[in-house]
Amino acid sequence: MIEVTLLGTGSPIPDARRAGPSTLVRAGGQTFLIDCGRGVQQRLTAAGAPANGLSALLLTHLHSDHIADLGDVIISRWVSTFTPEQTPLQIIGPPGTAEVVEHTLKAFGFDIGYRIAHHADLTAPPPVEVHEYTDGEVWNRDGVTIRVAPTDHRPVAPTIGFRVEHADASVVLAGDTVPCESLDQLAAGAGALVHTVIRKDLVDRMPMQRIRDICDYHSSVEEAAETAARAGVGILILTHYVPAIEPGQQEDWRALAASVFDRQIELGDDLLRVEVHPGISAKPAG
Ligand SMILES: [Zn+2]
Ligand SMILES: [Zn+2]
C-alpha cells in the first residue's frame, strides 16, 4: 500500500487555512516529500513525518510556491538529526535544483555558522546530495522505485512529474502542467494521480491580467480529469486549488472532475490522506 497525504493544498496566494503546495508519499517504510511550499513543516509534524525522517525530497519545479520552505526543511533536518554521522538529504529535481540548493545554503550561511559555533556536535554544514533529472529512473531502494518524466509548464522549464512504485501499488505526482503526452505515459495505469488544478472558469473572470495569465500553463479540473481518464488511473487526487476551495464549494469541484472521470476522486483540505492499494488500477490505459 502507498499512502498519500496532501500536506499543503494552497497555491502562491497566501491562505489562512491552506499551506503551500506539498505532498507526502509513504511507501515501503520510506517517506518522500514532494515539493515544500510554505508551512510544510507544520503539516509534516501533523502528519507524523518530521524532516529528520525523510528518505528524499522530490521537486517538480522551481516555482517559489513549490520551494518556499526549502531552507527550513534543510536546516530543520540538520539540527534535529542527533546521530553523529548525518546521511546527506537526497534532493531530486529538474536541472537548476543544484543551483537553488547551493544559493539556499548560502542564504542560511550565517545561521549555519552560528549553529556550528554553538554546538560541539555540529561540525559541518547540512549535508545534501542533489540529483537533477528530466527522465528515467531516479530511485531504486528496498522495493521502492521512482521514475520521472518531463511535464509542460512552459515558460517554466524543465519541469518533471514523479511515479512512485512499491509492490504493485503506484502513485504519479504531476506537479503544475498542462496536459501532455509524456505525463500520459508516466501516469499510464497508475493507482493514483495527484494533479494540481485551477478553475479556469473562475480565474478568467478576475480583473487582474497577471492572475488570468496563469490559465495558460496549468490544467483545469476537467483537463486533469481527462488526463486521469486517458491514463486509466484508479484514483484522481486534486490539489493546489486556484482559487482556494471555499467551504461548501467542494462538491462543485468534484462534479467538474466527475463529468470526465468516472472513478474515485479525492479533494479536500490539508492533511487529506488517501490509501492507494496494489492493483487498484485494473483499467487499461487508452
Ligand atoms: Zn508552477
Ligand atoms: Zn504552483
Q: Which ligand is nearest to the CA of 160?
A: 1
Query: 13: CA distance to ligand 2 center in Å?
Result: 10
* Nearest-ligand number for the alpha carbon of 156: 1
> Structure pTM?
0.95
Domain count, the chain: 1
Domain membership flag for residue 280: no
Distance from the alpha carbon of residue 1 to the mean position of ligand 2, in angstroms:
27
Separation of alpha carbons 271 and 21, rounded Å: 12
Assess if residue 277 is contained within a domain: no
Domain housing 203? 2-269
Long-range Cβ pairs for the range 185-188 (8 Å, 24+):
185/149, 186/147, 186/148, 186/149, 186/161, 187/161, 187/163, 187/227, 187/228, 187/231, 187/233, 188/231, 188/232, 188/285
Question: Does residue 41 lie in a domain region?
Answer: yes
Q: For residue 269, what is the DSSP state? A: S
Tell me whether the omega of the peptide bond preceding residue 150 falls within 30 degrees of 0, making it cis: no
Q: At residue 284, does pLDDT exceed 80?
A: no
Instruction: Tell me if 176 is assigned to some domain.
Output: yes
How many whole angstroms from 141 Cα to the centroid of ligand 2? 29
Q: Dihedral sign, CA of 79, 270, 172, 151?
A: negative
Ligand 1 centroid to Cα of residue 84, in Å, is: 37
CA distance 183 to 237: 15
Average pLDDT of the residues in 2-18: 95
pLDDT tens digit string along 146-174? 999 999 999 999 999 999 999 999 999 99
Considering every ligand atom, which ligand is closest to the CA of 13? 2
8 Å CB contact between 219 and 257: no
Q: Is residue 279 part of a domain?
A: no
- CB-facing half-sphere around the CA of 55: CA atoms within 13 A: 17
Residues serving a catalytic function are: 65
For residue 20, is it within any domain? Answer: yes
- Band the pLDDT of 286: cuts 50, 70, 90: very low
Instruction: Give the residue with greater pLDDT, 284 vs 82.
Output: 82
pLDDT-based confidence at residue 281 (cuts at 50, 70, 90): low
- Which residue's C-alpha cell is 503526452? 181
Residues linked to residue 193 through DSSP beta bridges, in sequence order:
172, 236
Distance CA 264, CA 124 (A): 47
Instruction: Report which residue type is found at 118.
Output: H
pLDDT in tens, 94-152: 999 999 999 999 999 999 999 999 999 999 999 999 999 999 999 999 999 999 999 99
CATH number at residue 198: 3.60.15.10
Expressed in angstroms and rounded, the spacing between residue 198 Cα and the centre of ligand 2 is 10
Give residue for cell 502542467. Answer: 177
Residue 220 belongs to some domain of the structure: yes
